[in-house]
Structure 1
């Protein structure tokens, strides 16, 4: 186990490990997230749980400006191989990376038995209104980061949450920590990811997704403009044997953790 679960170093592949035995599950966080954010998703999952810090997060250097889902996918594939994981869970950005790997039939993840995609934010494209909103949000966010306006970043990020969530003190504290990281680290290299698509819109990619032999869970919640339900539904349609769970607004990170643990515990066993 890493002596600091938030800052595992290069000697561990930036992976903190908890539990023991089989099965082995890899868990990856979302953009501006950290291992501490994915720990709750591992509650109730048996065996060994490996929590990864992606580049630009948790002290791991950024690969440079202009992050892409293929880059994220390669890091996830390497972690699957390193840990010998047979199962994986990805939140938001990591969900996109896993989707990319599945769509390209990457040999490392082709053998995964179970994959959970939590709050997927990107697939083969965005509805027009979502694309417009993402571009506007990104332009505002870049300006606030350049101005080092932490309070402005917090307000902008919380404006994408349901009003009742935005008013929660823990939500504001969590968002402030993200804002500070965007200003104080090289994480801002990845801001453009909000406009990137995770999967190429090709017949080959579609066939690879349909042919994935493992089980897939898609877990999202309503009224989250950063993670539209329409994206989760599109993924579910593309992978007919997947399971889609849509929870009430604010459930996954704040107000429905018991239900999230139940769903994930049943899925992973």
Structure 2
């Protein structure tokens, strides 16, 4: 069942071409185009996950804590991706981006490009999160966070009979302690909000730059195909509106055997039985 006030129809307009269209373009430009496309995809998917995992306003504690766990992970992953994405842009923007396409790039993208260059040239929060909380589990950071935990700090792990529905929120308490020290705020949630806002702002600017190159490249080298864009339309009905949709947090395990059940239920011989009954 669909509800008109909660769902919409999305129109998709395919742009079809072949690898031959890219093979006649200077190789570094074509490869950069495809890499920027991948970066754009990653940004969109991770941003969607950040929005879908926004803090749930619920009286049910496990829902709130599970949503917070997903939100923190997605923000950390997004910080890592935009940090790596900037390396891609930085190494090529003078050679390919501005030298070859500068006359067709809009001013907003140029301004964002200059801003990002300054931001990443200095110590910044995105790189701190990427280096200390994403690229690897930093034992030193974890130890410092643990030592800052107050003795009365509540710790909770949310157990279910399915491993896939079990969340060790005590680990997130440690992560929050580490992050709020990194940011220099008084409250852990304040640190998370600040990190989230900064990461999303940098993502928006990086996305503007990436899309500017994708558009400029397409207009120059795929113009023949762009002329027909819109002739083919695929309608996808019953899609949830972004303002009303949250991703499911807990999932029921399928009764039938299969990959999903094996992955989610933890029925392997090594699975730990946490329950006495």
TM-score range, shorter chain: under 0.3
Q: Which has the higher helix share?
A: 2
Q: Which is greater in Rg?
A: 2
**Greater RCO between the two (CA within 8 Å, min separation 6)?**
2
